[in-house]
Amino acid sequence: MRKNRLRLVGALAALLVAAGIGAGPPAQARHEPPTLADLAQRHGRYFGSATDNPELVDEPYKALLGSEFDQITPGNGMKWYATEPEQGVFDFSKGDEIVDLARAHHQKVRGHTLVWHSQLPGWLTGREWTAPELRAVLKKHIQTEVRHYRGKIYAWDVVNEAFNEDGTYRETVFYKTLGPGYIADALRWAHQADPKARLYLNDYNVEAIGPKSDAYYRLAKELRSQGVPLHGFGLQTHLALQYGYPTTLEDNLRRFSRLGLDTALTEVDVRMQLPATEEKLAQQADWYRDMTGACLAVRRCVGITVWDYTDKYSWIPAFFPGEGAALPWDEQLRPKPAYFALREALK
């Protein structure tokens, strides 16, 4: 009789476990390790990832994107060639898909990018413009896009990559036709279209103090003194092991903060010459740890975004042949030493 009773109790327990009853707290209530976003939030920061539309059919990738990060940047879907492929004809479908995904996961969105010399549509680059013509085109593009996303975008990279390495202005169609004033105009037009969005200048190779970051510092100081609505400076932070770590990163972040600007590490990856070795992956992890520490040390460094989180979808191999392995997760979505270094830095 006692054996039968025990069998009955065991069977009932098995049924309860299968139903999710009586087996301790439900899965969502059990202790889960904090995500990178959780850890960053404890410091008042965000931790984000870029993404792009083609990879959103990858469900395991999408699940990790939705759970580990609290900020998203569209890699391509908001650039000019995608959003205004014909003059005056706007298509926001790719950007909308990523914004909708982010909103479903309660993630912030950084808009990227309104004014850039690259990935422009042929109708814009294939003819000569007078200054009044191009000014009208630029204003319409900025304001149409920013109004479309008004209230849905936390911050915009308004002008991207405006300077050369030596600190001179890049000879873009906008600079050559409109002069350097196009930058202030772009910021004003974006602010009119969405007064609550944070507006950034954004560039690469500006992590260390040097000619290029000095040029941005001077420009930012000038724009702020003129009352132009500039709220932040984005440091892309595309690094490469063979070129050395930007040891003045923290000092650089701090001087922009003193101008009253937020800063952010906006497109982070750390590439290496392949094949990846344990030694290179350990050095990469150190760099991810150090850059995170630099951001945490400066109060107005508001967050970090990796330029997609997995080597599976990295832009690096296509642009730098023989290089890669730049991100905290490998091509099989397995965390690398860099991922654990990020956790360590954020703790």
Record the tokens describing residue 134, joined without a space: 């191009």
Active centre residues (catalytic)? 161, 267
- Long-range CB pairs of 128-137 (<8 Å, 24+ gap) are 129/173, 129/177, 130/177, 131/177, 131/178, 134/173, 134/174, 134/177, 134/178, 135/178, 135/182, 135/185, 137/87
Regions of the chain where pLDDT drops below 70:
1-30
Nearest 5°: phi and psi at 132? -60, -40
Distance in angstroms (rounded) separating the CA atoms of residues 90 and 83:
5
Task: Please give the pLDDT value at position 242.
Answer: 98
- pTM of the predicted model as reported, rounded to 2 decimal places: 0.91
Distance in angstroms (rounded) separating the CA atoms of residues 342 and 339:
5
Task: Please give the pLDDT value at position 32.
Answer: 86
Task: Please give the pLDDT value at position 13.
Answer: 39
| Per-residue pLDDT tens digits for 333-344 | 999 999 999 999
Task: Please give the pLDDT value at position 1.
Answer: 44
Task: Please give the pLDDT value at position 20.
Answer: 37
Residue among 300, 301, 283 nearest 292 (CA): 301
> Within 10 Å of residue 171's Cβ, how many Cβ atoms?
10
H or E segment and range at residue 318: helix 316-319
Residue with tokens 């990935």: 119
In three state form, how does the secondary structure of 54-101 look?
HHHHCHHHHHHHHHHCCEEEECCCCCHHHHCCECCECCCHHHHHHHHH
Which residues make beta-bridge pairs with 201? 159, 233
DSSP state of 248: T
| Per-residue pLDDT tens digits for 152-208 | 999 999 999 999 999 999 999 999 999 999 999 999 999 999 999 999 999 999 999
> Within 10 Å of residue 121's Cβ, how many Cβ atoms?
17
Cβ atoms of 137 and 189 within 8 Å: the answer is no
Task: Please give the pLDDT value at position 2.
Answer: 40
